Amino acid sequence: MSCSGRKRRRRTVSRLPNQKGMEFKLVVAVRKDIRISPGKMAAQVAHAAVSCAMKAKGSKKELYSDWMREGQRKVVLKVEDLVELEQIERLAAAAGLITDKITDAGLTEVPPGTITCIGIGPAKEADIDRITGHLKLA
Amino acid sequence: MSCSGRKRRRRTVSRLPNQKGMEFKLVVAVRKDIRISPGKMAAQVAHAAVSCAMKAKGSKKELYSDWMREGQRKVVLKVEDLVELEQIERLAAAAGLITDKITDAGLTEVPPGTITCIGIGPAKEADIDRITGHLKLA
């Protein structure tokens, strides 16, 4: 539930979960070009995480169990905009990873139908990093 | 995935999901007395949401299905500190609601073992509001 990828912002690199022997993670990439409160963003990220977890539980049971056993690690990253989000989605889908793109109902902070974030995984860290390893932490 | 409770901050009250006929929700209450980045907070909230959803899927299947069918609405609220978080937890447990308190591994931003948030539900909105209706949106 922490940092990952090639670019790291914090000085706690030596204590990152992936250096603690954790092999699996779920990533959620959020758009940074939309104005959204931290609580709303958290709800969107949670939506992506629940949807991806349920997909994994249904179709990739072993992967799901491995990820849960490790503590269901999650990493929240940011993408520039919808273009980058959908580029990530295509790459992840082509790699056979679980994805779930979240469209907000637009009841409060954003227009109806706004795509806010995408969940990728759970999957092996290396498989996800090939696609999202260049993204920064949200 | 929006506002609820007695105190509301935004002017979009008339368009809130619970006025769109939505009956179920999952609430995550986060501590506002700990310093944590929006991304880290989102990951903690997602952790609570996944854990509560899985508990519901296992032990309250009908409730889980109802909540999912409605779009798995989530609301992120804030509590003052650990004391208030645990007070909420006791009340929710006493009311028979699903709860899941999240303890962070403390690998990056907070000391190991820090309790960051609590998930409550999914449950009927009225049942959750009796316990968290006074809390503000995060």
Q: CB distance from A8 to chain B under 8 Å?
A: no
Contact A42, A131 (CB under 8 A): no
Strands B74-79 and B24-31: parallel
Cα atoms in the Cβ-side hemisphere of radius 13 Å centred on B20: 18
CB-neighbour burial class of residue A11 (10 A; exposed 0-12, middle 13-18, buried 19+): exposed
Q: B1 and A47: CB-CB below 8 Å?
A: yes
The position carrying tokens 């959908």 is: A86
Chain A residue numbers touching B55 (CB-CB < 8 A): none
Q: CB distance from A76 to chain B under 8 Å?
A: yes
The neighbouring-strand residues paired with A77 are: A29, A137
ipTM tops the 0.85 cut = no
What percent of chain B lies above the pLDDT cut of 70?
84
What's chain B look like in SS3? CCCCCCCCCCCCHHHCHHHCCCCEEEEEEEECCCCCCHHHHHHHHHHHHHHHHHHHHHHCHHHHHHHHHCCCCEEEEEECCHHHHHHHHHHHHHCCCCEEEEECCCCCCCCCCCEEEEEEEEEEHHHHHHHHCCCEEC
Phi/psi at A112 (nearest 5 deg)?
A: -55, 135
Strands A136-137 and A74-79: antiparallel
Per-residue tokens: B112 = 């190991």
Q: Whole-angstrom Cα distance, residue B130 to residue B119?
A: 15
Query: What's the pLDDT band for B20 if we cut at 50, 70, 90?
Result: low
Q: Whole-angstrom Cα distance, residue A63 to residue A25?
A: 10
pLDDT at A12: 27
Q: CB distance from A115 to chain B under 8 Å?
A: no
Per-residue tokens: B110 = 């907070």
Is residue B11 pLDDT above 50, yes or no? no
pLDDT at B77: 98
CB-CB neighbours of A80 under 10 Å: 12
- What mean pLDDT is predicted for residues A64-85? 96
The position carrying tokens 């959750």 is: B128
Is residue B16 pLDDT above 50, yes or no? no
Chain B residue numbers touching A2 (CB-CB < 8 A): 40, 43, 107-108
Of A17, A30, A42, the CB nearest to B107: A17
| pLDDT tens per residue across span A2-42 | 434 344 443 323 333 454 678 999 999 999 999 889 999 99
Q: A3 and B108: CB-CB below 8 Å?
A: yes
Query: What's the pLDDT band for B107 if we cut at 50, 70, 90?
Result: low
| pLDDT tens per residue across span B108-117 | 778 888 999 9
CB contacts < 8 A, A to B, total 137
Query: What's the pLDDT band for B64 if we cut at 50, 70, 90?
Result: very high
Per-residue tokens: A49 = 């995480």
Q: Whole-angstrom Cα distance, residue B77 to residue B102?
A: 15
pLDDT at A130: 97
Is residue B47 pLDDT above 60, yes or no? yes
Closest chain A residue to B75, measured at CA: A43
Higher pLDDT, A10 or B125: B125
**pTM for the model:** 0.85
